[in-house]
Chain A
Amino acid sequence: MKTNDLILQTVTKVASPVIFLFSIYIFFGGHYSPGGGFVGGLLASGAIVLLLLSYDIKTVANILPIDYKLVVAIGLLIAALTGTGALVFDAPFMTHAYQYFDLPIIGHTSLHTAVLFDLGVYLVVIGVTMTIIQTIGESE
């Protein structure tokens, strides 16, 4: 039986970009307010799961042609290299650094290498969640 899920799909089209934006907001707010890489990553994969619920696996794979196992590896690599970078500057592993910059639109901002580490966490969380869900979804 083919049900008509027009309403679900339309709502998804509106809702998923909002969830993605919220995930990015949470990710960048992590240093000063509750949030960070872990929740941000979960929210982003929540948006993808919503897409999976309203469409099927093939369609979503067409929209986002990503191998999530590689996302995990890239995330791990970013996080590990952020820590390893300290070795180059003859500091103990995982020593972070920050600096204030005057950026064109945002203005006076501090940029911290911990964000790079968090980006790694963000990608790993998305990769792991989506690998689990897709693997379970595809297996017969």
Chain B
Amino acid sequence: MNNIVFLPVLLPFLTGIILIFFSKKIKAQRILSLLSVILGIVISIVLVRNVHHQGIMALEVSSWEAPFGIAMVADMLSSLLVLTTSMVGIAILVYSFYSIGIEREKFFYYPVFQFLLVGINGAFLTGDIFNLFVFFEVMLMASYVLLVLGGTKPQLRESLKYILVNVISSALFVITVAYLYSVVGTLNMADISRRIAEAGQPGIITVIAVSFLIVFGLKGAIFPLFYWLPGSYYVPPIPVIALFGALLTKVGLYSIMRTYTLLFYHDQGYTHELLGILAIPTIIVGVIGAVGYWDLKKIIIYNIVIAVGVIAFGISLMNEQGLSGSIFYMIHDIIIKAALFLLIGVMIKITGTSNLREISGLLNSYPFLGWTFFIAALSLAGIPPFSGFTGKLLLLRGAVSGGEYVGFAVILLSSLMMLYSVMKIFINGFWGPPSPSRPRPYADADRVLVKRLLFPAALLVAVSIVYGVAAEAVYPFISQATETLMQPDIYINAVLKE
């Protein structure tokens, strides 16, 4: 029985429920949620291994046969993303122990954390378009709570905007699913794909495809729809920003990837071209923000927008190198964004400010933090031994073989600007004399606390280094994922068992 496909969803769900019962006993909450995410990582490793050996695994929930019941499908892309999610989840959880504060911990922080994982893992693993909507809502509800938890004034203001945007996009999601259902008459993704292929994607399906692009673009922050992101991601505490920045936008991108490779691939001249046209301004806008700001959080937040554009561009290419580059880059970006947010969180903890102009000379007192940040920065920009390199290289080769030279140039230049934006943090924050306004700079910070906070961030950077150096070993998994995306028949046959 393929019940293991459902375990990455079930485990955090049960943990979250049990955690509600003793919400005031913080120590027990911490231990239980830590055990749960460790078990989660074991499960997802087993899942990746099984999918690697046996091909796509599909679970027919409730024992109803595929197009009639809900199918949970783990192909290589989904299982790799689930594995990445649990690795990032464990680091952010450990970071939360020392930084989130007792007030938030007492008010259901850990249960909501688990429910967010339920939503993310569910969205990655589902094979049913309406079930995808439900898991999106699970994820968004949890993110509303995490965003507003604590109740400071900026948090209230930004969560109002965030909820408004997401309620509208969710309504649009339902409407789009309704259109799709009225045209094809089924909700199972494999079955939808088969019926669209039979009809040869008439105009109305292309309209629906563009509506899906708008919906997932709102969730994933693509160019004209990204406006809510910089404000909303600025206000919550650091571990929550890391969780959002690393994972939430990637769920939107995963959905675009899934729908555009599995369902709407017959009229690529229109849909995929549109995605490519939107991806390039996304990169440019992100670059402008990342270079323009002198605020640690804003710089990294705009780097999310750049990465969204790069991944979307890879999807729009629809050739093997472009897609595998996208997948490689997405996994890299989840890890490195979480690491960068945690690292600037440590910097903010030490200096008490996120304004880069007020920080200088950290390297003297905190060399380990400085060099970890340096490696993370190089990795973000895609310097060869580190993990950003392989993904971008594949993407660029895909762009050349697809003849997209504008995108090629924009991605190369954007890498330079990404490097500039994070090196700006390194050079201004870590080099130079310690800031003159403080007599004994940063020495009074709680060193034990800093060490504890630094540990999960350094762990993520280490994972990222391994991911980059061992690209040769990782590549078979990525190419297996790409193969499924390039040939929807593999997916359809695995789900519908023909």
Residues of chain A at the chain B interface (Cβ within 8 Å): 69-70, 72-73, 76-77, 80, 83-84, 87, 90-96
**Top-7 shortest CB links A-B:** A73-B20, A94-B62, A95-B63, A76-B17, A93-B6, A77-B17, A94-B61
* Chain A residue contacts of B10, Cβ below 8 A: 80, 83-84, 93
Binding site for A on B (CB under 8 A): 1-3, 6, 10, 13-14, 17-18, 20-21, 23, 59-63
Q: Are A91 and B17 in contact (CB under 8 A)?
A: no
CA A95 to CA B63, docked complex, whole Å = 6
Report the separation of the CA atoms of residues A103 and B440 in the bound assembly, to the nearest whole angstrom: 81
A80-B17 in contact (CB<8A): yes
B50 CB, nearest partner CB in chain A, Å: 16
Which residues of the other chain, A, contact B14 by a CB distance below 8 angstroms?
77, 80, 84
Q: Please tell me which one of the listed residues A70, A87, A95 contacts residue B62 in the complex, with CB atoms under 8 A apart.
A: A95
Partner of A93, one of B17, B20, B61: B61
State whether B20 touches A72 (Cβ < 8 A): yes
Instruction: List 30 interface pairs A-B (beta carbons < 8 Å), by A numbering.
Output: A69-B20, A69-B23, A70-B20, A72-B20, A73-B17, A73-B20, A73-B21, A76-B17, A76-B20, A77-B17, A77-B18, A80-B10, A80-B13, A80-B17, A83-B10, A84-B10, A84-B14, A90-B1, A91-B1, A92-B1, A92-B3, A92-B59, A92-B62, A93-B3, A93-B61, A93-B62, A94-B61, A94-B62, A95-B63, A96-B62
Q: For residue A68, give the distance in angstroms from its CB to the closest CB of chain B.
A: 12
Closest B residue to A75 by CB, please name it. Answer: B17
Collect the chain A residues with CB atoms within 8 Å of residue B61's CB. 92-94
| Complex alpha-carbon distance, A69 and B23, angstroms | 10
Chain B residues with CB below 8 A from A73, complex form = 17, 20-21
CA distance A25 to B62 in the complex (A): 27
Pair B21/A92 contact, Cβ less than 8 Å: no
List the B side residues contacting A92 at CB < 8 Å: 1-3, 6, 59-63
B46 → chain A, closest Cβ, in Å? 15
Min CB distance B65 to A, Å, is 11
CB of B19, distance to nearest CB on chain A (Å):
9
- The residue that B59 contacts in the complex, of A69, A80, A83, A93, with Cβ under 8 A, is A93
The contact of A91 among B13, B18, B63, by CB within 8 Å, is B63
Q: Which one, B1, B21, B63, contacts A70 given CB within 8 A?
A: B21
A127–chain B nearest beta-carbon distance, Å: 10
Q: How far is the CB of A117 from chain B (nearest CB, A)?
A: 11
**Measured CA separation A131–B109 after assembly (Å):** 18
A72–B108 CA distance with the chains assembled, in angstroms: 13
A94 to B60, CA, bound (A): 10
Q: Which residue of B lies closest to A87 (CB)?
A: B3
